[in-house]
Structure 1
Amino acid sequence: MFELDMRSRKPIYEQLVDKMKELIMNEMLKPDEQVPSVRTLATELTINPNTIQKAYRELENQGFIYSVKGKGSFVNPNHKIKDLEKIKTVKQELEKLILEALFLGIPPDELIQLIQKLDGVKGGGERND
């Protein structure tokens, strides 16, 4: 399914959450599709089942999966979650790039002009200028 970086400073359960979210957002895991059981995934990745359970609990809290007692966990078909998570990720990436641009000396006015230029090319988003 995927690999985890055991040498990373990021906790294994967080890596697992990120990988599962990526699979869901990229529709590799379809809505209402059953995700691997805790035992199966723990065996496949050779990690503690408690780590998998913690990751699944976090995914459920974030609304990416839901559990059915006695049946397992499934991908949540709610598409709004996918959009909200993608928007959050894009904003975080943009923030890093903007800070880097400012650090390198690009004036804020120039960044604003670039955004306005790109907005005009794209078609204006929600505004109808």
Structure 2
Amino acid sequence: MDITITLTDGVPIYRQIVNQVKYLVASGLLQPGEELPPIRTLALQLKVTPNTIVKAYDELESSGVVHMRRGSGTFVSEGRPKLALLERRRIIEQRIDALLAEAHQLNFSADDILRMVRERKAAMDPGTTAEPADVEK
């Protein structure tokens, strides 16, 4: 499990862990039933206190992402499909928000952006053609 902590972004460390585990589950990189690293192991790996990992795992368990088996470890819950859809949607919505904010700063309209997205999508799909997006202002 690859988790990266950023000390400069203002997001609490436990929250970064929660968000990244949710992403790993939503993307299918962590499968239902798969075991997460033990608390002490992950704490050493991330160079944080075990209490930080406990807080993250507790939040993940209360939201249904993982379940803990006392003495056995922490495992990805079987209810992944619903979580995956919600989490995938949240991730994409965040990226859309950032794109729209940047597009606004660069004086692109929503229609311009939609045309460019369709063009890029067509370029990625073999056998599909699309008209070039005319977005010059």
Compute the TM-score of the two structures, normalised by the length of structure 2. 0.70
| CA offsets 1:14-62 (integer angstroms, 9 cap, x no match) | 2212222233233332211121121222233332111001111121233
In the alignment, is residue 77 of structure 1 matched against residue 78 of structure 2? yes
Letter aligned with residue 81 of structure 1: L
Offset of residue 109 of structure 1 = 4.3
- The verdict on how the C-alpha distance between 1:109 and 1:6 changes in structure 2, with shifts beyond 3 A counting, is closer
Stretches of structure 2 that go unaligned for 5 or more consecutive residues are: 126-137
Provide the residue aligned with 1:89 in structure 2.
Answer: 91
Give the alignment of 1:61-76 within 5 angstroms: 61-76=62-77
CA RMSD between the two structures: 2.7
Give me the identity figure in percent: 34
Q: Give the distance between the partners of 1:117 and 1:7, measured in 2 at CA.
A: 36
Q: Give the distance between the partners of 2:23 and 2:108, measured in 1 at CA.
A: 32
Letter aligned with residue 99 of structure 1: A
Offset of residue 81 of structure 1 = 0.4
Offset of residue 90 of structure 1 = 0.4
In the alignment, is residue 107 of structure 1 matched against residue 93 of structure 2? no
Q: Give the distance between the partners of 1:53 and 1:60, measured in 2 at CA.
A: 10
Secondary structure at the aligned position of 2:95 is classed as helix
The aligned length equals 120
Compute the TM-score of the two structures, normalised by the length of structure 1. 0.73
Stretches of structure 1 that go unaligned for 5 or more consecutive residues are: 123-129
Provide the residue aligned with 1:127 in structure 2.
Answer: none
